[in-house]
């Protein structure tokens, strides 16, 4: 894949700007969480339309590519499906979304709520992807890849551009990794100017395995965040960008991710799904330890979860 430039990312940001939210950041101190007293910035992308960063990539695909009359098709653990369904609804395009059985009820409900034709297929993302590819061939619908597509990466890269403008003095950004579209986009924007650290569940180490092998390879695909951070392997288009610009990766346990979810809710009233809290869990668990004075940003990438049920409190 040819280099993704800052000019292309800026152009993509202008293209999708009318359709996506500029999500806020909150500035904290590590001491609030029992960590060293370093500046800490959280990028609250869970407040994006459809509940995650995936909406950026979905709109980039539907606006930059020619959508046929048959509409679009996507395979997803949940968030990308919700984002594609939302973008299709807003732009008046038909959409069929394939998800595996591990998708959370919250994500399935969102997809249905946006009016897409939902198909539950197989136990893992790879199963849903295979079914979606067959449907694309049969119907002529345009596939919208969850991560391994140039437009998808460009869309996710706009989060990096936004964060750079909101928090221009950060030294490091922690980003959760599934298929790698988000971290590739953010890394492409910063192009080595800061440290970009990938955070992966130990049960789904796709980028860690790829970097060790020198190319994408199959990895385990399980754990608490399997509906958002467990494709079988990192994207082929993602890998060269990540290999060039991602500083390193760290692995976190399911328990650490669950603890980060609890902490975000208890301390900040932020409701993050497991995949959305994974990057923050690297700080809390010590998987990533900042140096003295290091200014760290963390992307809270999604909030599609039923972890909080207000009906129980009424």
Q: Which of 43, 54, 107, 195 is catalytic?
A: 54
43 is annotated as an active-site residue: no
Q: Which residues contact 18 (CB under 8 A, 6 or more apart)?
A: none
244 is annotated as an active-site residue: no
Q: Which residues contact 208 (CB under 8 A, 6 or more apart)?
A: 198, 200, 219, 249, 251
Indicate the Cα dihedral angle 71, 73, 78, 80, nearest 10°. -70
Q: Contact at 8 Å (CB) between 190 and 196?
A: yes
Closest CA to 159 of 29, 281, 3, 54: 54
CA distance 16 to 18: 6
| Cα-to-chain-centroid distance, residue 285 | 21
Q: Contact at 8 Å (CB) between 63 and 40?
A: no
Taken in order 78, 81, 87, 91, the sign of the CA dihedral is: negative
CA distance 52 to 82: 9
Q: Which of 76, 132, 176, 301 is catalytic?
A: 301
* 117-120 sheet: strands from edge to edge: 117-120, 95-99, 72-75, 142-143
Closest CA to 181 of 152, 208, 158: 152
Closest CA to 170 of 280, 264, 289, 298: 298
Continuous segment of H or E residues that includes residue 75: strand 72-75
- Positions marked catalytic: 54, 301
């Amino acid at each position: 894949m040819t280099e993704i430039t800052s000019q292309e990312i800026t152009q993509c940001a202008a293209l999708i700007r009318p359709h996506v939210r500029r999500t806020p950041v909150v500035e904290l101190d590590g001491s609030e969480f029992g960590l060293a007293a370093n500046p800490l910035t959280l990028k609250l992308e869970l407040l994006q339309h459809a509940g995650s960063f995936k909406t950026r990539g979905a709109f980039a695909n539907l606006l930059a590519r020619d959508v046929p009359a048959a509409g679009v098709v996507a395979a997803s653990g949940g968030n990308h499906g919700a984002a594609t369904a939302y973008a299709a609804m807003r732009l008046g395009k038909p959409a069929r979304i394939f998800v595996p059985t591990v998708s959370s009820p919250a994500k399935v409900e969102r997809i249905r709520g946006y009016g897409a034709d939902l198909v539950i297929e197989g136990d893992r993302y790879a199963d849903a992807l295979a079914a979606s590819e067959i449907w694309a061939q049969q119907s002529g619908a345009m596939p919208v890849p969850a991560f391994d597509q140039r437009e998808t990466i460009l869309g996710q890269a706009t989060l990096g551009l936004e964060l750079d403008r909101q928090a221009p003095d950060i030294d490091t950004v922690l980003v959760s990794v599934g298929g790698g579209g988000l971290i590739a986009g953010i890394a492409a924007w910063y192009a080595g100017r800061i440290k970009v650290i990938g955070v992966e569940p130990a049960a789904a180490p796709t980028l860690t395995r790829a970097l060790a092998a020198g190319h994408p390879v199959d990895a385990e695909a399980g754990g608490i965040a399997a509906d958002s951070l467990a494709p079988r392997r990192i994207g082929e288009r993602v890998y060269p960008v990540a290999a060039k610009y991602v500083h390193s990766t760290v692995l976190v346990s399911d328990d650490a991710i669950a603890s980060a979810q609890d902490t975000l809710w208890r301390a900040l009233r932020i409701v993050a799904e497991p995949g959305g809290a994974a990057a923050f869990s690297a700080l809390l668990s010590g998987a990533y330890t900042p140096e003295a004075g290091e200014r760290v940003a963390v992307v809270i990438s999604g909030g599609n979860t039923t972890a909080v049920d207000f009906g129980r409190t009424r």
